[in-house]
Amino acid sequence: MIQIKTAHEIELMRASGLVTAGAIRAVRAAVRPGVSTGELDAIAEDHIRSAGAVPNFLGYHGFTGTICASINDEVVHGIPSPDRTLAEGDNISIDCGAVLAGWHSDSAVTVTVGEASAGDAELLAVTEQSMWAGLAKAIAGGRLTDISHAVEESIVAHEHRYGIVDHYGGHGIGTEMHQDPHVLNYGRAGRGPKLVPGLVLAIEPMVTIGDPATAELDDGWTVVTKDGSRAAHFEHSVAITPEGPWVLTAEDGGVAGLAPFGVTARSQ
């Protein structure tokens, strides 16, 4: 069942989204060689709790972290640990969420530790750009797969043949972290539920530099590429409003990210 939010409820989700945005900003600033993913996890948890919110990943189906920390060939759901430290040149996906006043938010960013290679820099840029392409289609009157198609088209437009991870994708979000509908990162436009004001979605492309086939590790969480190629993952939560997309987990509401697509975001 798809949950449609009132204008007031979206305001509450915006407050939650800003908590998550701040937590990701704090973790991102701490990324450096030698830091452990456990330390990064503690930074995120401290930020979320200091804001009066609760980490929504922690304890979710038994997950033991506040963030998912996925490194290099790990696509998503990497478990943070004090025993795992970052090295120069690693790529790390930081996926994080919070619950504030009963409302969830969810966002992710992939960053390189130190200097990025040309290939990694392009992988991250392509993935992030595809997310914004999808967010630009979060407009009332469209269809769900308009978002999916925009993500896919943004990725396949590049000369390098990047992989789009199958099955995994975005989701509805609200009083639960994961709600209907499921939002794939590929597909034909013009299909699926109608996009209406009050619908809130998490858009999250997962892109590989090699083959997109994945496997789940024995920990029951971490998803890796089968061929060992590197992956990237970006995510924002967005509300569909009469004034346009409102990117709840972007501190500027999505103004800068959506401007290149000619889309005016709701910023406040």
Please give the pLDDT value at position 104.
98
Please give the pLDDT value at position 83.
97
pLDDT at 154 over 90: yes
**Separation of alpha carbons 180 and 196, rounded Å:** 14
How many Cβ atoms sit within 10 Å of the Cβ of residue 191? Answer: 12
pLDDT at 268 over 80: no
pLDDT tier at 241, thresholds 50, 70, 90: very high
**Separation of alpha carbons 232 and 128, rounded Å:** 9
pLDDT tier at 266, thresholds 50, 70, 90: confident
Q: Please answer whether residues 233 and 206 qualify as being in contact, where contact means their C-beta atoms are separated by less than 8 angstroms.
A: yes
Please give the pLDDT value at position 238.
98
**Separation of alpha carbons 251 and 132, rounded Å:** 14
- DSSP state string for 149-211: HHHHHHHHTSSS--EE-SS--EEE-SSSSSEEEEE-SS--SS-SSBP-TTBEEEE--EEESS-
Pick from 166, 147, 148, 155: nearest CA to 223: 166
Tens digits of residue pLDDT in 9-61: 999 999 999 999 999 999 999 999 999 999 999 999 999 999 999 999 999 99
pLDDT tier at 239, thresholds 50, 70, 90: very high
pLDDT tier at 82, thresholds 50, 70, 90: very high
Please give the pLDDT value at position 1.
86
Tens digits of residue pLDDT in 160-206: 999 999 999 999 999 999 999 999 999 999 999 999 999 999 999 99
pLDDT at 267 over 90: no
Overall average pLDDT of the 101-120 stretch: 98
pLDDT at 6 over 90: yes
Please give the pLDDT value at position 30.
98
Tens digits of residue pLDDT in 59-70: 999 999 999 999
Percent of the chain's residues with pLDDT above 70: 100
Distant-in-sequence, close-in-space partners of 260: CB < 8 Å, separation ≥ 6: 132
pLDDT at 91 over 80: yes
Q: What is the pTM of this model?
A: 0.97
- DSSP state string for 136-160: TT--TTSBHHHHHHHHHHHHHTSSS
Average pLDDT, the chain: 97
